[in-house]
Structure 1
Amino acid sequence: MSDNIFNRRNDNRNTDLITNPSPRVPVCLILDTSGSMFGDPIEELNNGVELFLEEVKSDEKARWSAEIAMISFGGVVNVCSDFQSVDRIDFKRFYADGGTPMEEAVMKGIELLEKRKNDYKNRGVSYYQPWMIIMSDGEPTTPLVKSYQITYKMSQNRKLVCLPLGVRDANMNILSKFSNQFAMELEGIKFKDFFEWLSKSVGAVANSSTTDAEVTLPQPPPTLKIKNC
């Protein structure tokens, strides 16, 4: 990506903060696309993310309030989308390849989130507690150093809703380190179930009366299990 294109995208995102005064719901998806996701799992993940984006678009309030960032980690960390409204996202389907650099991916997500929060503050835009979804089907191939300490502390201080999601052979003990809430485990590869629930949850937050309101989230589907690790 050229510097000119990157700068134009940043300008568009910042202009949107002026023209659209809606309180924001920042949602960061950090998705494992390593080689072990090859085949049906990566196809189901693609279908699930597409469903999520379409469901957010279909909710009039969430469409203008939600800002989505997507980071994949399969061999390398790739910022597929910085925080922006769902209408601006040009989704490219994921391909499975490489190892599982979870530490680097989560740190990149934290970096993007902090930058966007500063954008909100500098332009006087209010925002709801950010969400971060960390999905993996295996174990990190690089050491976890500080990413989980940062997300756990942010969760504990109510600065972040961190949802670790394990699929198939994921190490749930490792995933549970990232949040002060229990990690979740998805039955099989039913990503659509999870992303449908996530879109409804984001919609519930976007439609709440104020950014300080306590929000009752939809009941998770039966395929989504809470793991006490």
Structure 2
Amino acid sequence: MNKLEDLVEIAYPGEPHCPIVLLLDTSGSMSIHGKIEDMKEGLRAFKEELSSDDLARKRVDIAVVTFGEEVEVTHPFSLVEYFMPPAVIAAGLTPMGEAILCAIALVKERKEQYQNLGIDSYRPWIFLVTDGEPTDMYEGDSLWKEATGAIRSGEENGDFVFFSVGAEPADMKILAAISPPGRDPVRLRENRFSDMFVWLSRSQAKVSTSGTGDQVILEDFFGPEGWGEIPLF
């Protein structure tokens, strides 16, 4: 009997694929100051920008995991032309630990699907955006150790790249403790979700034009006009 992953069809199997999981906070606090609406507008900009790049349309593979009232895969992996930004609402707490493990499992499953179909792939990205701190784990407890350990081992083994972005009033110290060594979290300036997602789409497009083993230099997002800033702890 075929395994389920053997039956998955992936568009453009002759192209190397560049998977990214958008790991998005949809807790109740995201309704404050219009953050959830700004994030949805950013997702639309993300799709529009990627859609304008012929090669990225065939290679960038997008999934969305949201965490608020529950942890949910609100959009399974698909290429850009099939990506529909989910109509998320802000509600609930911040089950970030469970969401991180869900995103890592999703990446692992997708990589296995590529392998089963003989599709080459780039190193996956997991891109976390939150305005808070986890409510399902605390520093040093079992879920914390499991989630942060999975992030560190995944980075060290080259399984994925983990980024984290904190919108106000995210606890940047907590995000720094969750993030892998050498990749500090970035503070989002002034709810500039659209600018952040445009940068992310351009970064994915740049990765998709490189060789699968190449190191890619990304556009700078700091500076007076950038969307991000280094947090001061």
The question of a shared fold, defined as TM-score above 0.5 by the shorter chain, is answered with yes
Deviates more, 1:81-90 or 1:60-69: 81-90
Amino acid of the structure 1 residue aligned with 2:103: G
Is 1:168 equivalent to 2:172 in the alignment?
no
Match of 2:141 in 1: none
Distance 1:160 1:115 in 2: 12
CA deviation profile, 1:167-198 (whole Å, cap 9, x unmatched): 10111122122322111110121101110110
Aligned residue pair count: 218
Separation (CA, whole Å) in 1 of partners of 2:56 and 2:196: 17
Distance 1:66 1:171 in 2: 31
In the other structure, the counterpart of 2:185 is: 183
SS of 2:76's equivalent?
strand
1:70 aligned partner, one-letter code: V
Extract unaligned runs of 5+ from structure 2. Answer: 138-143
Alignment of 1:205-216 (within 5 A): 205-208=207-210, 210-216=211-217
Structure 1 runs not aligned, ≥5 long: 1-6
What corresponds to 1:35 in structure 2? 28
Q: TM-score when scaled to structure 2? A: 0.87
Once the two structures are superposed, the pairs formed by residues 13-28 of structure 1 within 5 Å of their partners are 14-16=8-10, 19-28=12-21
1:44 Cα deviation (Å)? 0.1
CA RMSD of aligned residues (A): 1.9
Corresponding residue to 1:80 among 74, 79, 82:
74
The residue type paired with residue 227 of structure 2 is T
Q: Distance in 2 between matches of 1:88 and 1:125?
A: 19
CA deviation digits over 1:106-153, x for unaligned, max 9?
111111111100011111111111100111101111113411211122
> Partners in 1 of 2:78 and 2:41 — Cα distance?
20
Q: Is the 8 A contact 2:23 2:64 kept in 1?
A: yes
Task: Report the secondary structure of 1:23's partner residue.
Answer: coil
SS of residue paired to 1:52: helix
Checking the alignment, whether the CA contact within 8 Å between 1:182 and 1:228 is kept in structure 2 is no
| 8 Å CA contact retained: 1:66, 1:206 | yes
CA contact (8 A) 1:183 1:228 kept: no
Tell me the residue number matched to 1:4: none
Of 89, 100, 106, which residue of structure 1 is paired with 2:94? Answer: 100
